[in-house]
Amino acid sequence: MDVKALISQLTLEEKAGLCSGADFWHTKAVERLGIPAAMVSDGPHGLRKQDLGADHLGVNESIEAVCFPAACATAASFDRALVTRMGEAIGDSCQHEKLAVVLGPAVNIKRSPLCGRNFEYFSEDPYLAGQMAAAFVHGVQSRNVGTSIKHFAANSQEHRRMSSSAEVDERTLREIYFPAFETAVRQEQPWTVMCSYNRINGVFASENPWLLTQVLRDEWGFEGCVVSDWGAVSDRVAGLAAGLDLEMPASGGWNDRKIVEAVRGGRLDEAVLDRAVERILNFVFRYVEHAAPKTPWDKEAQHALAAEIAGECMVLLKNEDAVLPLSRGETVAFIGEFAEKPRFQGGGSSHIRSFMTTGALEAAAGLPVLYAPGYSAAEDSATEEQIAEAVKAARQAKVAVVFAGLPDVYESEGYDRSHMRLPACQNRLIEAVAAANPNTVVVLHNGSPVEMPWIDRVKGVLEAYLGGQAVGLATIRVLYGEVDPSGRLPESFPKKLADNPSCLSYGGEGNTAVYNEGIFVGYRYYDKKEMEPLFPFGYGLSYTRFAFSDLRLSAPEIRDDETLTATVRVKNVGERAGKAVVQLYVADCESTVFRPVRELKGFEKVPLRPGEEREVSFTLDKRAFAYWNTELHDWYVEPGEFRIEIGHSSREIALSAPVTVWSATELPRHYDLDSIFLDIMADPKAAAVLQPMLESFSKVFLPEEGAAQEAITTEMSLAMLQYMPLRSLLSFAGDRLEPTALEQLVAKLNGN
């Protein structure tokens, strides 16, 4: 389709009209020119297609579909191929239902456990989130269906999400909140990018030219269409000029007329409008030309896939005395309503109307299992009779498994949590069951970390997250050892909310949310603070054991425009088959800027039989060692020694090896009379210029022997000297230094 030729035939009103939706889910058609409408649908872990009575928050009915595990769970898989398979399945579903774009993945960073939408986001770590996002986009778009990576950017709270301004410094945006988007855009070119509701440093994302054009398009090379979050547009004309192509949903023609008026009034170049229309039509026709509505949608097969994926995502947090796996021949008590009716997805725009669900109790049919509901999730209560019944069942069983977690109302799109506790009735139930049976295991259904006041009184904890409609089947497979737990935490679990680095400023004051913690989000904070979390980032147990050995680097030193290859051997030294998650971290041994202790820069999931050993390789480029330099407005590697670390988690590093990295970029130098000696002497070139003058004036600054050195030693004098500005030479050198000589010195320091 010759899109440019079509645009030349459109009227100004038609072009403006194409820049907003026809209704809640469709783009506009122009029948006289054969331009069709395209339908989009909420995701990202299944389809929430609505035809009639559409609404963005899932209040009204949608078609029956397959609910896969939410992003909080799939990120725990640390498995790119698995997430790609899920994306392929969702892409097939879209083709069957004639959907051009699925609205996902959501990749915002988990700044705080309180964010109500954390279940829909991947991780607190930008590298992991980016890798998972790229894998999902690749899977969906391999089926010629578009994705809409969201919400760009810094939408890490639901509180006041449509009015709040995320106040984030440049380096933090670049190192923490942008990279997941950047990775997906550079690697996979999603068809669309959805901008967020919030302001960023005072400017709405929907009308931010720096965000939508300079960064997204000019720097990262995004070629697709930018679409608004539903109802995110404030000033439509400003948004169009900034790079916002498609407004969703329909605006009743109001904003279309504003665009027409702006063009006719000379306030908006029509070429800007044409460019937006071209981007919109590109994705519409891209889908139309590859539409395959006869694509089969085998929901039963996808249900089985959902169970497989959920099993790969579960994280075994505690397994004292090898209480797990359970024996199929021993009586087990299943306690808690979630055993029968699991919570498997979050609330809001991603809520799927599942065509079926499988709870753990149903999946355990035929096994010697006793059941007691224990509590009511809907009423958020547990009666004394319910707890007594649960205690009775626990006493009759070899192992008691309590299915606990957060009810639907606790976490949803649109609002944040006020605390990170489980319901009080569930905590009370767990403690009562643990007192009745020393072999108590807790299975958690939640989209974000929870406090665990009972952790020392139970022997096992299995984090199931929100595992999709087949979570019960997956849970039974893991509990009984059919599937080895291989999930690893994609986020840190603090012991209490007050430990979280954002706790003092999260949510903000009024419409201002200041990201005071900067780059120290999640494990970057806990590691730097040397604070013990409840469970660290990357943590997870297995029913077998893995050993790492023979870490080798391709070179002892490299330039930052070269790559480094790291190889390591991983072996299953246990008695069961399992999957190891090899995590590679990079640590800057000495830096003049604040940096985390270590940062995740690579991971691989490796299946291994007992005794089997494999070699894993990682390739690291400049970004693995760089930080965002606000003077250069670019990535910069500070020359020096780094450590390549191989670990089981951010807190369990098994191997490390040093490498020296030299920078191919020279930082700009500028010194003046207010520059201090410390900064000048840290620059080898400047230090060479300054050193002769310092030596000639050494007697001025250093105390003479005798009583003077008792008051202030040579070491003290040198320590004080480093903080003195160049202009102090005039004060202390007297007539030994002419002002012109100092000016000449500054010129030499600046290379003149």
Among 46-55, 233-242, 695-704, the least confident range: 695-704
Contacts of 509 (CB under 8 A, 6+ apart): none
More confident residue, 422 or 706: 422
pLDDT class of 706 with cuts at 50, 70, 90: low
Q: Is the pLDDT of residue 379 over 70?
A: yes
The pTM (predicted TM-score) of the whole model is 0.94
pLDDT band at 719 (very low <50, low <70, confident <90, very high): confident
User: How buried is residue 24: exposed, middle or buried, by Cβ count under 10 Å (0-12/13-18/19+)?
Assistant: middle
Q: What is the pLDDT of residue 396?
A: 97
- pLDDT (average), residues 261-287: 96
Query: In Å, how far from its chain's centre is CA 199?
Result: 19
CATH 2.40.50.140 is held by the domain 546-662: no
Token pair recorded at residue 720: 């004080």
For residue 251, give every residue at least 6 positions away whose Cβ sits within 8 Å of its Cβ, in sequence order, or none: 20, 233, 236
Picking from 39, 11, 67, the residue whose alpha carbon sits closest to that of residue 146 is: 39
C-alpha distance from residue 117 to each of 172, 241, 247, 301 (Å): 21, 30, 22, 28
Q: What is the mean pLDDT of residues 338-347?
A: 93
Helices marked H in 249-314 — which ranges? 254-264, 270-288, 299-313
Question: What's the pLDDT at 679?
Answer: 87
Top pLDDT among 210 and 408 is at 210
- 173 dihedral zone (left: phi>0; alpha: psi -120 to 50; beta): alpha
> Which span out of 69-83, 286-300, 664-678 was modeled with the highest average pLDDT?
69-83
At 342, the pLDDT band (50, 70, 90 cuts) reads very high
Say if residue 63's pLDDT is above 70: yes
The pair of three-digit structure tokens given for residue 199, joined into one six-digit string:
């302001």
**Residue ranges of domains in the chain:** 3-68+75-288, 301-529, 546-662, 677-749
514-532 average pLDDT score: 97
100-109, 582-591, 667-676: which range is least confident on average? 667-676
How sure is the predictor about 376, in pLDDT bands with cuts at 50, 70 and 90?
very high
pLDDT at 681 over 90: no
Per-residue pLDDT band for 223 (boundaries 50, 70, 90) equals: very high
**Interval 169-200: pLDDT, tens:** 999 999 999 999 999 999 999 999 999 999 99
pLDDT in tens, 421-469: 999 999 999 999 999 999 999 999 999 999 999 999 999 999 999 999 9
Is the peptide bond between 44 and the residue preceding it cis, with omega within 30 degrees of 0?
A: yes
Res 702: pLDDT: 56
pLDDT at 707 over 60: no
CA–CA gap between residue 276 and residue 284 (Å, rounded): 13
Query: How many CB atoms neighbour CB 55 within 10 A?
Result: 14
Token pair listed for 626:
């760089």
Q: Is the pLDDT of residue 701 over 70?
A: no
Segment (H or E) for 605 = strand 599-608
Fold of 301-529: Rossmann fold (3.40.50)
Q: What is the DSSP string of 16-47?
A: HHHTBBSSSSBB--BGGGTBPP-BEEE-SSS-
- Read off the pLDDT band of 541 (50, 70, 90): very high
* Residues recognised as catalytic: 229
**What rounded mean pLDDT belongs to the chain?**
93
CATH 3.90.1650.10 fits 3-68+75-288, yes or no: no
pLDDT in tens, 145-164: 999 999 999 999 999 998 99
Strands 315-319 and 460-463: antiparallel
Closest CA to 198 of 159, 170, 227: 159
**What is the pLDDT at residue 60?**
58
Q: What is the DSSP string of 215-254?
A: IIIIIT---SEEEE-TT--S-HHHHHHHT--BB-S--TTH
Partners of 381 in the beta sheet?
A: 376
pLDDT band (50, 70, 90) for residue 740? confident
The pLDDT assigned to 709 comes to 54
Q: What is the pLDDT of residue 698?
A: 59
Which residue is listed with tokens 């026809």?
A: 22
* CA–CA distance, 452 with 402 (Å, rounded to integer): 13
Closest CA to 66 of 374, 470, 377: 470
